[in-house]
Structure 1
């Protein structure tokens, strides 16, 4: 018989339970929290499998995959290293940075240091640089992140009242992911640079714009972007991808650390709770990408759920009582039981069955399993 997961549906930022939703889950993977040692073993096995996709010559994971995914895989690896203290793969980290920071053959105008033809691509790599700095205290990595913040900031203008263009040089689309990454990056820099005021001001300005932009819909979910081409800068009703829900949680967490403003946590919890309550994003208790039911997920979308898990874990770490810990543990238990093959590779759907692994799906699993450590 299937088990049941009781999911809090209407938890307010003040912790008031409005209602409970019971959803059936497969019986073969009863969600019990793993002991710390078991959780680390599972995360380590997933990391080792992820490194099977690593190509030392290019410094990328699965080089044929989109470039930003190597930046995201680097972040996943660094998060694991930060949580566990392991430095086993630090040579690969340094190799990747040394190769990939060079001017890009396909976008030489950026001048290197991860400055690319889309601001979100730059943002992924820049955030990874802040994590390398955390591990090494080598200011060279923070310097790169500062260059990347300035590069992204160069594409802020008054169209739609503010915000960062996603695509360079076309400047045809202002979307959620670029501004979310920028908020998190600017706030992260502030939290690592004593006496900073500039990056904090940038992060707060970006958050105020994003909150008022209309991209956060009436259900507290983030649509993909704005109709910037003759659409009056209205919410375009685009897909509520899980990573768009996630990155802003991490950004608001960094801003909370910078300011102590608890209203930022309330805003973050509205979004997190909406994901858990959404029948399209949490199906039968398991986080689900909107493209999964139709079998139309592409290489990019395979990575999205892990990004949400990473950022939800960051939010949960600063909240009293850690209200999202059980949700994350449930995801990790089901992914391990249902989405994994004997080589500890993970497929797209965390509720299973395993289909095939890519750097997107594998880095996603690494971020999930790291979030519960």
Structure 2
């Protein structure tokens, strides 16, 4: 019989500059007969903490029970949650959206643990109010016109040569077809950079290293947080959970469309757990903002990575597909979202980003060819969840969607797993703050595919990775690091921990 872990609800209320020095864990105990021999250690509470309590027990457990593992890991995760910012310290802006999505999945699959579900709901209610102040680049998308609108206007304009001939009264000369086509391509390329909003220089940017790994660069001082009176946090105000203020999607937009859509999916997950309409409305608003980036200069479709519109990559487009498909199954205007998901999928499968091995490279070159950059695990994962959701929203083609997802998942497992079946990214085990998140995203979406189309290969993969994380990638405080195969690489942070927890949560379903 599973005995639920008592989770530290008050831990989320402690904002700090250094999460480990300020956050609290609370006593819990699982009988030895339920989970075998345990190791226990005592952690003193920090001096000056707003919540003074007796010494806390942090358990490092040899349990094989998937639920207990996930609950223990969730308890450890909360040392990083900063109530003042609504984010997890040591984790970036978009990473925190992924951690929250993991929490939504844990709450769904461990729904009998009332205290855990209550904690999850409190996190959502707090984050929706506190997090926008930490947006690393607010306002950059405000006022952006739709690319489709700009293109339509330019298509209606006469060519430059026609304007010149009219001005000078010259005679019209028939132009060779290849020149006309070249001008049209140039016009579309120019249109994608026309009428963009003026940049608001914040210091937030993303760049690729020599090996293709993406690195987020945050504004100076972004990690520093002012101390907040916990009694004034929204989560501590009476009735707050029952009355969420209507959020403004523009508060969450930062100019990188993948970031916007990570948050959209997180709020869809929060809606699934709570039924709070404001969460779903926020996700719809974020998606609507990102549609303005459609189309790119390649193939008449797709979205760009960012407001700068210089790169077309897999992750932004997979997230666009997944968000549209998720909304199709939840929002009122189902046909609208199904249409967007179909259009994105049609463009994506014809874009060339899917290679001959069946895995997905990072993006496209300037001339719209596969750039042959790294097959990151998250690029193999997000599309799985999107296709599963689309199969439910569009049952007429469900088998083709699930078939594509299954082929992609199996190709990724074959390509990215070691001889023991443990998942790795190319940069491991010393990935940066962005790539440290990737593997969990694959595990999370494989969980969705396995639930829709059970497969022994998927179940075995999920179990192997969850077992390896718990046995080889965990410290004495149940904090999880980046090297799922082991050995443990110090020190864990909220990104590595949340990513590994995605695999532990996936193990609840197999």
Question: Using CA pairs below 8 Å that are at least 6 residues apart, which structure has the higher relative contact order?
Answer: 1
Q: Deviations over 1:30-54 (max 9, x none)?
A: xxxxxx9811000011111111111
Equivalent of residue 303 in structure 2, options 134, 141, 164 = 164
Q: Deviations over 1:207-237 (max 9, x none)?
A: 1111110101000111000013xxx100011
Equivalent of residue 312 in structure 1, options 434, 446, 460 = 446
Task: Quote the residue 2:222 is aligned against.
Answer: none
Q: Deviations over 1:81-119 (max 9, x none)?
A: 111113132222211111224583632234634212100
Task: Quote the residue 1:236 is aligned against.
Answer: 371
Does the CA-based 8 Å contact 1:46-1:365 persist in structure 2?
A: no
Q: Quote the Cα distance in structure 1 between the aligned partners of 2:470 and 2:436.
A: 16
Task: Quote the residue 1:17 is aligned against.
Answer: none
Distance 1:372 1:105, change over 3 A: closer
Distance 1:49 1:208, change over 3 A: same
For residues 189-208 of structure 1, the aligned pairs below 5 Å read 189-194=327-332, 196-208=334-346
1:78 counterpart = 2:104: yes
Q: Quote the Cα distance in structure 1 between the aligned partners of 2:269 and 2:347.
A: 26
Task: Quote the residue 2:317 is aligned against.
Answer: 179
When structure 1 is superposed on structure 2, of 280-289 and 356-365 the one drifting more is 280-289
TM-score (norm 1): 0.85
Distance 1:369 1:54, change over 3 A: same
Secondary structure of the residue that 1:372 maps to in structure 2?
A: helix
Does the CA-based 8 Å contact 1:301-1:360 persist in structure 2?
A: no
Task: Quote the residue 1:27 is aligned against.
Answer: none
Structure 2 gap segments, 5+ residues each: 1-62, 143-249
Shift of 1:158: 4.1
Task: Quote the residue 1:57 is aligned against.
Answer: 84
Task: Quote the residue 1:88 is aligned against.
Answer: 118
Q: Quote the Cα distance in structure 1 between the aligned partners of 2:251 and 2:323.
A: 15
Does the CA-based 8 Å contact 2:136-2:254 persist in structure 1?
A: no
Q: Quote the Cα distance in structure 2 between the aligned partners of 1:275 and 1:321.
A: 15
- Superposition RMSD in Å: 1.8
Count of equivalent residues: 330
Structure 1 gap segments, 5+ residues each: 1-35
Q: Quote the Cα distance in structure 2 between the aligned partners of 1:218 and 1:282.
A: 21
Q: Quote the Cα distance in structure 1 between the aligned partners of 2:83 and 2:485.
A: 32
Q: Quote the Cα distance in structure 2 between the aligned partners of 1:219 and 1:341.
A: 37
Shift of 1:57: 1.1
1:47 counterpart = 2:78: no
TM-score (norm 2): 0.62
Q: Quote the Cα distance in structure 2 between the aligned partners of 1:179 and 1:197.
A: 19
Secondary structure of the residue that 1:185 maps to in structure 2?
A: helix
Does the CA-based 8 Å contact 2:469-2:486 persist in structure 1?
A: yes
